[in-house]
Amino acid sequence: MKLNSTPKQDGFSFPAEFDPVSDVWMAWPERPDNWRDNAIPAQNNFAKIANEIARVANVYIAVSAAQYQNARSSLDQRIKVVEMDYNDSWMRDIGPTVLTDQLGNKRGVSWQFNAWGGEFNGLYQDWQHDDLVAPSVCSALDIDYYQAPFVLEGGAIHTDGEGTLYTTKECLLSPGRNPHLSMEQIEFYLQEYLGIQKVIWLTHGLYNDETDGHIDNLIHVIGPGKVVLSWTEDPQDPQYHRSRQTLSELNGQTDAKGRDIEVIKLPLPDPLYYQQEEVKTISKSSGMLRCEGERLSASYANFLMVNQHVFLPQFGEQYDREAVKILESSLPDYEIVPIPSREVLLGGGNIHCITQHIPA
């Protein structure tokens, strides 16, 4: 049921990803203008990721009627396959953000979705099914939901679960999202619909991220007052100055509890690019340009935390093992689960982008 109040009014707030999780939702890829070879390599990659997550949480996969049997045969029998309409498979952005109250009750937030920019710079022109996914997921979970009055995607926000929200100006203030709202008005809405006390605004996201700089490619909040930051030591890399600016911004303020923010540098992979064989079977599209030689927005920070496990992207690249070691050291109570995910990356995101966790 859609509610007419706000989460803040009702005592609901945004819990941290490192808090206990009951379910993880995903959506099955099939869009031919985003996924190569009729999405078959992507489907294999999504299935591997889903099957790994299913070891530690309930997993639900939204799937079209046409792909239902294909998905069902590829997935672990523990995974629940749910027939649903959607336009593309970025469940972090089209699914609900689920909040909790002090009694453990859950409610969802359905954000307005416009394909990362609407008519200004959206990646596709028809997103009407995407915009209905969050209410559909809430219905499947049998929880009530709030309809937020502004455009936002789940990949644009991170929280510590203790009142601090992290986001980027590049994304939330982009002309394709909410040009009629000021930064102060957006911050008010974030407080009302997420029950948070402080917004930490970082200037930029990751270089060449087609979502206009989602926070989940740049940093990941791994504990109260503790974040990992995508980092490069190469001064020729366009991300070099962005990461240093982000570090300065994080060092220059405290979180909602007044804590200094500990920043752990997580290396970026060496620059990765679309290969000719990876783009030749992608259908042409006006919004999603997939060109040989274009840089991919690859980041190890785009991982998923679920019940003391980290599902970490791997790229077949020299920094893969170093990323694992850094997270093992930073999160000693966690099992780090490295998963090759280049096929997800080719679609424009990674493991965090294709999953939406539901708090326990």
Please list the active-site residues.
Answer: 353
Strand pairing partners for 310? 305, 336
Residues with Cβ < 8 Å from 287, sequence gap 6 or more? 115, 122, 123, 124, 125
Alpha carbons within 13 A on the beta-carbon side of 154: 32
Strand pairing partners for 201? 167
- The Cα 113–Cα 118 span in angstroms is 8
Query: Which is nearest to 91 in space by CA: 55, 158, 136, 40?
Result: 136
| CA-to-CA separations, 284 to 187, 209, 280, in angstroms, rounded | 37, 19, 9
N residues, the chain: 360
User: Structure tokens of 285?
Assistant: 């599209």
Kindly give the pairing relationship between strand 356-359 and strand 21-27.
Answer: antiparallel
User: Do the beta carbons of residue 322 and residue 267 sit within 8 Å?
Assistant: yes
Kindly give the pairing relationship between strand 106-112 and strand 97-100.
Answer: antiparallel
